[in-house]
Structures are given as C-alpha cells and as structure tokens.
Chains A and B, each alone.
Chain A
C-alpha cells in the first residue's frame, strides 16, 4: 500500500515550546546531495525579543537553584542524549555526510555536557576568594551569573560548537538565547528537542534559526541581554561591539576566520565559565 511520508517541520525552541517564526518566513535547507530537506524558520528581531522574555522568566529560578542541582540537571541531559546519539549523528550527516566525524562530534558533545555538569559546584570556590584588606573588614568575593547571554553560534559546527558556547553560560546559572548556524541548523533543532524533554527548565536555553543579519543587530542592542558570546568575523565583531557599547554589555568573541578545534581540551573549562559571571565583593565589618 502506498503511504504518504510524514515529513517533519523543524521548529525553534523558545520558552520550552516549539515555535515557528512570528513572521511566518522560512528558508529551504538542502541536504548534502543537494535535495530539498526541510524549511527552516527565518527568525526575526521579534522572535529574539520573545526569546529574551522567555529567558528572563527562566533566569530567576534557574540561577537560584543550588549548584549541585544544576549539575544533576546537566548530567541528566547527557544521560538523555546518550541513547539518542545515533539520531544526532544522522542529523549532522544531512549536511555533512562524513559518518566518523559526525559520531566523534556527538560523543565529544555528550562528554562536554558531563564536563560542565561537574563544574557547577566547583567553579564557585575557584573563582571566588577571601581578600586580604588593611582594615577591620572581612572581605570576600563571590561570583554571580550575569543574566541573559546572547550567543551567535559558529556556522561550521552546529551541535558541538553551539553546545560548547551554551554550556559554560548555563553552568553558572545564566539563561541563553542562541542563534544557530544558518547553513547547518538541523542538529541544533534536534538538540532543542532533546533539551525540551530534559530536566532543564523551560526558557533556560532558547535556540533560534535564521539569518545573522536579522538577529545580530538586535541581539547587540537589546538592553536586557547582559553578554554576547559570538563566533563571528571582523565585520560582525565590529557591529556587535558598537551595539553592545550603548547598553554596556560584555562581549566575548571567537574568531570565525580561524579554524576552531571544538574537540580540543581548550574548548572547555573554567576560563569559559569565568567569562559569564560577575564578581561581587563584600566588605563585612568585623570587631577590633
């Protein structure tokens, strides 16, 4: 019997819900053989605005969770993805048909989640300090998450690259609004589907698809986004810096024009977490 195939409409993840762009616009995605694969939402600045609202709602409770609990949730995410690794491999292979490379990317991605799950209750003691001061104060520094972090993910690596940028931000309790690869969005969309059914609260990670030209200027100027972490070239860097100046955002860049080894140890770790925390120093009066 002939059966009509049920094709999937890829959607973005905003506030734990799967959305199309409010504009209704899409762009066609071809697979590696040049065949039409799916229509991908072309998100607009209004979608970004909505995603920031979702992230803002999620931030207060996510950042208030204990470090230990955030670690549990991240570890559980790795547990959830591990048995679905093959799905992710196939998603990567729609646009990059090299199977060993795809398998390796998924494995590193899962290990990276576990890596940051371990950091949640350890970065605090390492980045904080008790400071010697020449007055009768007990002076100490603790770190706090910044709030909402905007991410422009690399074009090349839409699973490992995207995750490597999201994870250090959410480890310390930030919420994230990310724009994923324009050319290779499908594995990010599948990742979004896995995030939505993990224990990660809705809105902590929001993933948009579309064109950088539509999203990047608004992400840079949106007052509520407190840091922008972007894998861009020189022109993108200048545009983001100009936009971020007005609202005094922190900017962290990866150079798109150089080859980034996402598998490397240097693509993860404490320095990445440090980039998205604020230090709070307390002067506590003591006797004598």
Chain B
C-alpha cells in the first residue's frame, strides 16, 4: 500500500483547504474558449512580452550566449514593436556577465540559486550561492524548495529554509519554486503555496517549476497557485506574485494564462511586478504573433529565431 502524506502535511492541507481537481479541470478548460477581439489580443500579446523572464539554464551557457540573451531581452524584435522583457534568468555564474549589459535598463537580472534544480545541497552551500548571486548584481533570486523535506512532512524545516534564503536575498526579490510536478497532488501544491507565502514579502513570487522535469507549468497548477494567492491576499492583504515556468512556448498558451490571471486575481496582477512567464522560446512566438497582427500576414518562425518546423 502506498503510504499517504505524513500527519503534519495532512494537517496543513486541512487548514488551508483542499483542491477540487475535477472542478478545477473544468474551470481551466474554459479559459481557452474565450473569444478575443483584435485590440484585446494585441494588448495581451504585448503584456505577455513584458512579463517574460527570458531564460537560459543550460550546462553549455557561455558569457557570449548570455550577452546575446540580454540584448534580445532589451530589443526582442525591431519590426513588431515588442516591449522589452521583464528579466533575464540565468545561472549564478552568469550574473556578472549580464550585469554590465543590463545596468540602468528596465530589464532585471534573475538568477536561479540554492542548488537549482534539485535543491539537494547543504543549506549553508545554498545560502552562499544566493549571497554570491546577489553580490554579483542579481535583482531577483529563483530558489527551489526542499521537496524531499516537504513530502516527508518536515514543514517547519522547509519554511525556515525559505525564510533563510529570503534573508540572504536582502533587497532582491525572491521567487520560490515549488516544482509542482514533484508534489504529486493539487492539495500538496496549495499547501506548499501557503507554506511559502506565509514567509514571503509583498512582491515576492511563487513559481511552478524548474523546467527541468517532465511536467511543467500547466493551466491547472497555475490556477491552484492563483487561487492560493487570492485566498492569502484576502486573509492578509499581502500581494504575492506568480510565475509559471517551463512548457509555455506559444503566444496562445500565454494569453490563456493571462485570462486565468485576469479572471482570478484581476487587473492588479496584470503587470510584470505581479506575474511573469519563465520561458525561452515564448518571446519569439509573441513577436511573431504581434508581427502577424501588424501586417495581416502569417509569419514564418525562421524570421523569429526559431527553427522552421518549431510550431
């Protein structure tokens, strides 16, 4: 028999409420059926572009590649008047290469830290990584929670670690990656959201995924977290921000996610201090769709830095 959640986790789920996964599935399925008129679509595409955390998190990242990414975040596409991205998201060792290019611009530098993506390193090591990234100039830190401890029921440990990382961030914003695919159930995602939000400051983020596992951000887990943010806001008045990451490749997906934000949290969350997309290819598709709206002609992906078959 598969053992269920430990007692402490079950108690937390009881306290914050559980998730109706069937109802949730029906609700999010409706988001993609909204009919958007042209002006609303252009508004949504431009807004989504301004919310992109342009990401490169690969072993083969080089300073040159990061520099090119920074320039792309600043000037996504000349023809389609695409607003600049919200941030670039890189590994800590790349922050110092991005800093000289992005200093004084609207584009922030986000760095994953805390032994991303597994988080399986001693706390002291993880905190040292955060301090190093902040020291190099990271404006935002994307941390991963200790999923092993969470699933084992050591909730205080998880929360204390988030607090410790938040202290280490100083003035930099913190994004807490729950890694929803490893939390197994909607109840656990909601519980983990609350666990994180209870120790976060206004404007800090909760984030779905690392993008390094098979399952990434979905409308369903995004919705669970948006609902948690709303409930937390009603209870405390603290506005926590949200970042789905991984698997959002097309403009159409991004617009559907924005509809979920608009209908769950309202206009106050429709800006890049409250909502972000962690993505690498999305910005290209947003530019392609904006160009299509501008010219009236369907565009080919290869003029937007994508391979010919990458629809």
Residue numbers of A with Cβ under 8 A of B are 49, 52-53, 56-60, 147, 218, 221-224, 246-247
Contacts and interface: CB of A to CB of B under 8 A. Distances in A.
A218 B52 CA distance: 30
Contacts of A147: 308
Contact of B308 (A49, A56, A222): A56
B122 interface: no
Interface of B: 296-301, 303, 307-309, 311
A242 B299 CA distance: 17
Contacts of B303: 223
B309 A223 contact: no
Contacts of A49: 298
A224 B309 contact: no
B311 A53 contact: yes
Nearest to A175: B309
Nearest to A220: B297
Contacts of A218: 298
B309 A60 contact: yes
B309 A56 contact: yes
Nearest to B299: A223
A218 B298 CA distance: 8
Contacts, number: 34
A59 B298 contact: no
B210 to A, nearest CB: 27
Contacts of A59: 308-309
Contacts of B297: 221-223, 246-247
Contacts of B299: 223-224
Contacts of B301: 56, 224
A218 B308 CA distance: 19
Nearest to A219: B298
Nearest to B303: A223
A218 B299 CA distance: 11
Nearest to A243: B297
A204 B263 CA distance: 41
12 contacts: A53-B311, A56-B309, A56-B311, A59-B309, A60-B309, A218-B298, A221-B296, A221-B297, A222-B298, A223-B297, A223-B298, A223-B300
B154 to A, nearest CB: 46
A52 B308 CA distance: 11
B199 to A, nearest CB: 45
Contacts of B308: 56, 59-60, 147, 224
A222 B297 CA distance: 6
Contacts of B311: 53, 56-57
Contacts of A221: 296-298
A247 B299 CA distance: 10
Instruction: Name the 7 nearest CB pairs between A and B, nearest first.
Output: A224-B300, A53-B311, A221-B297, A223-B300, A222-B298, A57-B309, A56-B309
A246 B297 CA distance: 10
A217 to B, nearest CB: 10
Nearest to B291: A223
Nearest to A61: B309
A57 B310 CA distance: 7
Contacts of B307: 60
A52 B297 CA distance: 13
B240 to A, nearest CB: 37
Contacts of A246: 297
Given A223-B298, A247-B297, 20 more contacts: A53-B311, A56-B301, A56-B308, A56-B311, A57-B309, A57-B311, A59-B309, A60-B307, A60-B308, A60-B309, A147-B308, A218-B298, A221-B296, A221-B297, A221-B298, A222-B298, A223-B297, A223-B303, A224-B298, A224-B300
B284 to A, nearest CB: 14
A52 B300 CA distance: 10
A16 to B, nearest CB: 15
B291 to A, nearest CB: 9
A278 to B, nearest CB: 14
A49 B307 CA distance: 17
A218 B311 CA distance: 18
A219 to B, nearest CB: 10
Nearest to A45: B298
A286 B192 CA distance: 66
Contacts of A247: 297
A52 B301 CA distance: 11
- Of B297, B298, B299, B309, which is in contact with the most chain A CB atoms at under 10 Å from its CB? B298
